[in-house]
Copies of this chain bind each other. A is one copy, B any other.
């Protein structure tokens, strides 16, 4: 599959791990560091090690798996290990893992000695089609997601599809929600193709298409002043539901599961406000409901959900903004939605 050219950096698909070795050897780096978590250390690192060969010239930094590690405390830990290992300005950080690793590693590298080079080797579906592309880095403070971060591009991204083989089914579904989103906001043909595919095992070609869409949008609007907001479809309500679930549920929703709920609610709002037809709404709801488990939202939690939406860093001056579809494959950004409308859309989900 074709290498995708992003904002000054390539996104490799074919023989991507060989390309990585090539990149490291030719980059003129004084040394390099590989950031992994417990799982990618087991499932993905061996392949890298076997291709890189010698143990010299690099050090490993491993963190605990999970969103809790995307915290400032772990970030300080990464910085201190870079210091202890003697990283200089010509060092390279290789982020081998899911979105937690690429967000945290990208932030740590972009601020270490005012910025050292980093590359992503995304190993989850979510990070392949979403987190590794677009130049956002971020960490959490007090569980406030991505409250601290930078816009910094990696020097390259290496997508090795086969890493997905060890990924649990629920993680595949989580990344899939973003792929469906890409079709819905930008590409009706892609959506149509997705609908009829084996979605529990999205093909390498479908992954490639999603990366193309995400890449195109973020190149056009790297700092999210306009069209990049399209990518927030499903996320205004979805993020609030996700946050609430993280706080209250013993087995919280995955990101994709929450975004699927958000996409249903926001499609309902689109039907009400921006002309999405009833047929299209029903089609979207059918596809998502077939893939994602039902989730119980209590009416008594609406106030809390609205409070989460208001705190979202995308919103300014006390107004809640949504990206809404006008058709499948097209959307409109910056639609202010009232609290009444948002509650109505949650009720729509509850009563499905």
Q: Is A88 an interface residue when CB atoms closer than 8 A count as contact?
A: yes
Among the listed B114, B142, B313, which residue makes an inter-chain contact with A88, where contact means beta carbons less than 8 Å apart? B313
Q: Would A148 and B79 be within 8 Å (CB), given that A111-B111, A114-B136 are in contact?
A: yes
Q: Is A141 an interface residue when CB atoms closer than 8 A count as contact?
A: yes
User: Are the C-beta atoms of A79 and B147 separated by less than 8 Å?
Assistant: yes
Q: Is A138 an interface residue when CB atoms closer than 8 A count as contact?
A: yes
User: Are the C-beta atoms of B30 and A142 separated by less than 8 Å?
Assistant: no
Q: Is A49 an interface residue when CB atoms closer than 8 A count as contact?
A: no
Among the listed B72, B88, B136, B142, which residue makes an inter-chain contact with A317, where contact means beta carbons less than 8 Å apart? B88
User: Are the C-beta atoms of A141 and B76 separated by less than 8 Å?
Assistant: yes
Beta-carbon nearest neighbor of A72 in chain B: B76
Q: Is A74 an interface residue when CB atoms closer than 8 A count as contact?
A: no
| Alpha-carbon separation in the docked complex, A144 to B138 (Å) | 23
Among the listed B111, B114, B151, which residue makes an inter-chain contact with A114, where contact means beta carbons less than 8 Å apart? B151
Q: Is A294 an interface residue when CB atoms closer than 8 A count as contact?
A: no
User: Are the C-beta atoms of A313 and B147 separated by less than 8 Å?
Assistant: no
Beta-carbon nearest neighbor of A139 in chain B: B111
Q: Is A292 an interface residue when CB atoms closer than 8 A count as contact?
A: no
| Alpha-carbon separation in the docked complex, A80 to B142 (Å) | 9
Beta-carbon nearest neighbor of A141 in chain B: B79
A48 CB to closest chain B CB (Å) equals 24
User: Are the C-beta atoms of B147 and A316 separated by less than 8 Å?
Assistant: no
Q: Give chain A interface residues in 309-334, CB to chain B under 8 Å.
A: 313, 315-317
Among the listed B142, B151, B315, which residue makes an inter-chain contact with A115, where contact means beta carbons less than 8 Å apart? B151
Q: Is A150 an interface residue when CB atoms closer than 8 A count as contact?
A: yes
User: Are the C-beta atoms of A149 and B89 separated by less than 8 Å?
Assistant: no
Among the listed B80, B89, B90, B141, which residue makes an inter-chain contact with A141, where contact means beta carbons less than 8 Å apart? B80
B-contact 0/1 string along A90-123, CB 8 Å cutoff: 1000000000000000010011111100000000
Q: Would A316 and B149 be within 8 Å (CB), given that A80-B141, A141-B79, A144-B83 are in contact?
A: no
| Alpha-carbon separation in the docked complex, A146 to B107 (Å) | 16
Q: Would A147 and B112 be within 8 Å (CB), given that A76-B141, A142-B80 are in contact?
A: yes
Contacts of A107 in B (CB 8 A): 111
Q: Would A112 and B148 be within 8 Å (CB), given that A88-B317, A89-B316, A316-B90 are in contact?
A: yes
Contacts of A89 in B (CB 8 A): 313, 316
| Alpha-carbon separation in the docked complex, A79 to B79 (Å) | 18
User: Are the C-beta atoms of A113 and B313 separated by less than 8 Å?
Assistant: yes
Contacts of A111 in B (CB 8 A): 107, 111, 148-150
Contacts of A151 in B (CB 8 A): 114-115
User: Are the C-beta atoms of B313 and A141 separated by less than 8 Å?
Assistant: no
Known: A80-B141, A90-B317. 6 other contacts (CB 8 A): A30-B317, A76-B141, A83-B147, A88-B313, A88-B316, A110-B150
Per CB-CB distance, the 7 closest pairs between chain A and chain B, nearest first, are A114-B149, A113-B313, A88-B316, A111-B148, A90-B316, A114-B151, A30-B317
